[in-house]
Amino acid sequence: MGAVDLGAPKGGQKKKKGLHRPKRRVGVRIDMTPMVDIAFLLLIFYMVSTIFAEPQAMEINLPPKGTEEVVKNVKESELMTLRVDAKDRIFWAMGTDKPDTVSLSRLPQLLIDSLYSMPKMITVVKINKAAHYSRMVDVLDRIEVVEYRIKARQKAQWDRQGGKPAGEDEFSYVFSMAPWTRLDTKMVAQATGEAEAAEEGT
């Protein structure tokens, strides 16, 4: 352990008035072993418990060239259109309804509710060319969240029923992306009441 080294004891000394005796300096030896122990323990702890913040991946599968036309043969009443305008705002519209804004945090619940009330619903995502790419990732991410949650619910239901019923498939979210058109700019402008911005990423 540490040791304090006192000099050889001298005889008792009286403090004379007006005279300050110099303080006796003592040698101090500190044993560093515990400090090194702690340092290594900390090092080993962090070496073992560190998780690096790796970037993650999101898979995207594009439809083969030439299949974009198939989307047109969908009943309007079953079509949910998600639009992202040039200002990165998200609008949703069922069929030919007037578009309404929705926040990213409410989007999953909105999609889940719409899907449960209309299981045949098809989603089309249209993003303005002037919008930011992060919005596309956000919307696609929320769609994946919805798919994940519905699959989990479906699995729980099947487990309760004691297995997967024949003829029922695992849920998969069907959606496609379509190019933004002048019509979309018009609909969004009508919905928000703002004047149409000319040439804004049409």
Partner 1 sequence: MLKKSKRRVGVIIDMTPMVDIGFLLLIFYMSTTQFKPPEQKAVTLPMSSSQRDLPKKNFITITVTKLDSIYVDMILMDKRFDPQAGDSVEVPTREYTVTTSDEVGNQIQQMRVKALKQHIDNPFLVLKADKDAEFGTIEKVMKSMQNENLLSFQVVTDLDPAVSRSGT
For residue 99, give both structure tokens: 């578009």
Rounded Cα distance, 125 and 143, in Å:
10
Question: Count of CB atoms within 10 A of residue 21's CB?
Answer: 9
* 141 forms part of the interface with partner 1 (CB under 8 A): yes
* 197 forms part of the interface with partner 1 (CB under 8 A): no
Q: Which stretch binds partner 1 (CB under 8 A): 12-20, 123-131, 156-164, 188-196?
A: 123-131
Least distance (Å) from partner 1 to the CB of residue 111? Answer: 12
* 195 forms part of the interface with partner 1 (CB under 8 A): no
Phi, psi of 127 (to 5 degrees): -125, 130
> Contact letters (x/-) for partner 1, 8-27, by CB under 8 A?
--------------------
* 115 forms part of the interface with partner 1 (CB under 8 A): no
Rounded Cα distance, 149 and 102, in Å:
19
Rounded Cα distance, 191 and 61, in Å:
32
> Contact letters (x/-) for partner 1, 145-184, by CB under 8 A?
x--xx--xx-------------------------x-----
- Decide whether 122 or 145 has the Cβ nearer to partner 1: 145
* 102 forms part of the interface with partner 1 (CB under 8 A): no
Residue 142 vs residues 30, 51, 136, 155: alpha-carbon distances, Å: 60, 26, 10, 20
Phi, psi of 46 (to 5 degrees): -70, -35
Select from 192, 176, 163 the least CA-distant residue to 85. 192
The site for partner 1 (CB under 8 A) is made up of 31-33, 36, 53-65, 84, 108-109, 112, 127-138, 140-142, 144-145, 148-149, 152-153, 179, 201
